[in-house]
Structure 1
Amino acid sequence: MQEPLRETIRKVILVLLEASRKTQFIENEYIKSKTNFASEVIIGVLKQLAEKELIILEAGGVIVPSRINLVEEALRYGIPVDKASLYLDWRDFEQLSSRYLEAHGYRVYRGIRLPPPRGFEIDVLGLGPRYTIVVDCKHWSPGYSKKWKLKKAAQEHLERTQRLAKRLWLVARRYGEELRRAKTLIPVIVTLTDPGLRYHEGVLITPITLFNNLLLNIDAVVEELGVGIK
């Protein structure tokens, strides 16, 4: 595919991502006003996206049923993940983290909750043969740089993971007996933008842009830093 066409598709996708934050239905005229492309060019791009079931064509516009799928298409067209992920809300952000885990063979659980006393909530949990990745998603705004708050969040997530380790039997009863085989819990905080901090008191910290790389190298990271709760 020639670069001018790729750039055209990128621009249309970004308009769809921006507009779909407020509404599922996006008018063709709105897309035209934001891109300055001719109507036939826009229709051609929208048909391509519809063929991939990323959007639904309607009279005068389109419906975006899943922004997470559209973000993944944006990545395939070379839009940086940090830019594309800005259009996700916290639910989308958790789903993107889950998809990375699934791509690496983890069985994913979302929204694990146990009530007080000593209760906790886990955003995303990835159950693997060697490690159980316990993810806390922090969808903070771009440029976030208050390291003290991130360190506090890391301490809280470590405590949360420790409580999970002690009550896995109860979590398994509620969410699936296969969780009884969870091994070596690895607490991870996944952030939207890069906070410049990779590790704090037993907790791994990674921007979503590097989460896939972390999963690829999890064995080496665990060995080097000695993280993990058994």
Structure 2
Amino acid sequence: MHPELLVRALAAMEGQTTHEKFHMDSGIASRSIANEVIGFMRDMGIGTSSGRALAFSGRDRLQAAVIALQSRCDVEQVSEHLSWKDFECLASEVLSSLGYSTRTNVRFTKPRMEIDVVGVDAGFCLAVDCKHWKRGNLSAIAQFCEKQAARAEEIVRRDRKISAAVPAILTLHAERVRFVAGIPVIPVMQFRSFAMDVKGFLGEMRVVRQGPAPRQRRQK
């Protein structure tokens, strides 16, 4: 499958659509080629179909985007058709499939903070921020990483059931997992393998750990 066709397909991957609308929205000139693209995606487990009706989820868009990137498509062209919600959906589904209990859009007040995806397994937490970066310089990425570390510290402080948390950034742009001040910046296509192995590499990452519980003051 030509990678340019996958980029065009991303533009047409709405929640609910039809073969005809997919053909028009994708801008693929040939109806037969548009149907070949639909068939290719179906063979790859992307989307569902019933007759002439089609349906695509955020995870489907991300899976198609990953295939396009692996085929050397331009990352900026691909990212135009994705949202941070698509990343959030993928992260939550991956962590759930690995046995984590997950929450999305976890909000705090005083200080006001939000964590996109929180996955907890036996007291261990992955606190994930989904960044829809096209490009990012190291200084800007480092600032985002420090903010995510502060969010991880906050959830550990508030939830005594979490004994340790790893702050992490999930992004489309990175080509490999990199560590910025001990915080992993993970390309979306490697998130599953990272999540599967994360507990074996805690010594290489910044880990926020639960401190001793505050003592209760005696009543006089």
TM-score (norm 1): 0.69
Q: In the alignment, is residue 125 of structure 1 matched against residue 122 of structure 2? A: no
Superposed, 1:74-223 pairs within 5 Å as: 79-80=68-69, 86=79, 87-115=81-109, 117-129=110-122, 131-141=124-134, 144-168=135-159, 180-194=160-174, 198-223=178-203
Separation (CA, whole Å) in 1 of partners of 2:83 and 2:179: 25
Separation (CA, whole Å) in 2 of partners of 1:32 and 1:223: 46
Mean Cα deviation higher: 127-136 or 15-24:
15-24
| Distance apart, 1:151 and its partner CA | 0.5
Q: In the alignment, is residue 18 of structure 1 matched against residue 11 of structure 2? A: yes
Separation (CA, whole Å) in 1 of partners of 2:24 and 2:153: 50
Residue 227 of structure 1: aligned partner: 207
| Distance apart, 1:57 and its partner CA | 5.5
Counterpart secondary structure, 2:208: coil
Which amino acid in the other structure matches residue 203 of structure 2? Answer: E
Call closer, same or farther: CA 1:53–1:110 in 2, change over 3 Å. Answer: same
Which amino acid in the other structure matches residue 211 of structure 1? Answer: F
Deviation string, structure 1 residues 117-164 (Cα, Å, up to 9, x no partner): 2232110000112521001111111xx131101101111111121122
Separation (CA, whole Å) in 2 of partners of 1:100 and 1:38: 34
User: Contact (CA 8 Å) 1:112, 1:121: kept in 2 or not?
Assistant: yes
Q: Structure 1: give runs of 5+ residues left out of the alignment.
A: 1-6, 169-179
Which amino acid in the other structure matches residue 199 of structure 1? Answer: F
Separation (CA, whole Å) in 2 of partners of 1:48 and 1:200: 35
Separation (CA, whole Å) in 2 of partners of 1:125 and 1:44: 35
Separation (CA, whole Å) in 2 of partners of 1:47 and 1:137: 28
User: Contact (CA 8 Å) 1:106, 1:128: kept in 2 or not?
Assistant: yes
Q: Aligned to 1:68, which of 51, 56, 59?
A: 59
Q: Structure 2: give runs of 5+ residues left out of the alignment.
A: 211-220
Counterpart secondary structure, 1:182: coil
Alignment identity in percent?
A: 19
Aligned residues: 203
Counterpart secondary structure, 1:34: coil
Which amino acid in the other structure matches residue 196 of structure 2? Answer: L
Deviation string, structure 1 residues 154-196 (Cα, Å, up to 9, x no partner): 111111211222122xxxxxxxxxxx53231111111211177
Counterpart secondary structure, 2:99: coil
Instruction: Please report the RMSD computed on the Cα atoms of aligned residues, expressed in angstroms.
Output: 3.8
Which amino acid in the other structure matches residue 158 of structure 1? Answer: A
TM-score (norm 2): 0.72
Q: In the alignment, is residue 54 of structure 1 matched against residue 34 of structure 2? A: no
User: Contact (CA 8 Å) 1:56, 1:64: kept in 2 or not?
Assistant: yes
Separation (CA, whole Å) in 1 of partners of 2:64 and 2:147: 35
User: Contact (CA 8 Å) 1:132, 1:184: kept in 2 or not?
Assistant: yes
Separation (CA, whole Å) in 2 of partners of 1:225 and 1:53: 34
